[in-house]
């Protein structure tokens, strides 16, 4: 089951598990759409894998299958931009 991380690893924007707008790679590195598409060009800077839209978890399932509360924050550094 996906961990559904709660925020973008680059800008720390909240990414609720039951809403669209999150992208993740096969290792579940997680980014908002702005960072994933515009800044990272859909390539994960951590593993080099492709970033794809993360599926949403139905709101009524979050009680039994909650999203992760662990935030991973890796702010952009100059070497990431190019």
pLDDT (tens digit per residue) in 47-73: 999 999 999 999 999 999 999 999 999
In a domain, 54, yes or no: yes
In terms of residue numbers, what domain contains 48? Answer: 22-81
Domain count, the chain: 1
pLDDT (tens digit per residue) in 34-53: 999 999 999 999 999 999 99
- pLDDT band for 1, please (50, 70, 90 cuts): confident
In a domain, 6, yes or no: no
Long-range Cβ contact pairs of 13-20 (< 8 A, separation 24 or more): 15/54, 16/67, 17/56, 17/57, 17/62, 17/67, 18/56, 18/57, 18/58, 18/59, 18/62, 19/56, 20/53, 20/56
In a domain, 43, yes or no: yes
In a domain, 74, yes or no: yes
In a domain, 61, yes or no: yes
| Dist. CA 77–CA 17, nearest whole Å | 27
In a domain, 8, yes or no: no
In a domain, 69, yes or no: yes
- pLDDT of 77 reads 55
In a domain, 28, yes or no: yes
């Amino acid at each position: 089951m996906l961990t559904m991380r709660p925020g973008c690893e680059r800008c720390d924007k909240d990414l609720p598990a039951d809403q669209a707008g999150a992208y993740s790679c096969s290792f579940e590195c997680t980014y908002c759409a702005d960072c994933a598409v515009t800044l990272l060009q859909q390539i994960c800077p951590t593993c080099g894998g492709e970033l794809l839209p993360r599926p949403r978890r139905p709101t009524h399932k979050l009680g039994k299958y909650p999203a992760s509360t662990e935030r991973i924050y890796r702010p952009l550094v100059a070497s990431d931009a190019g």
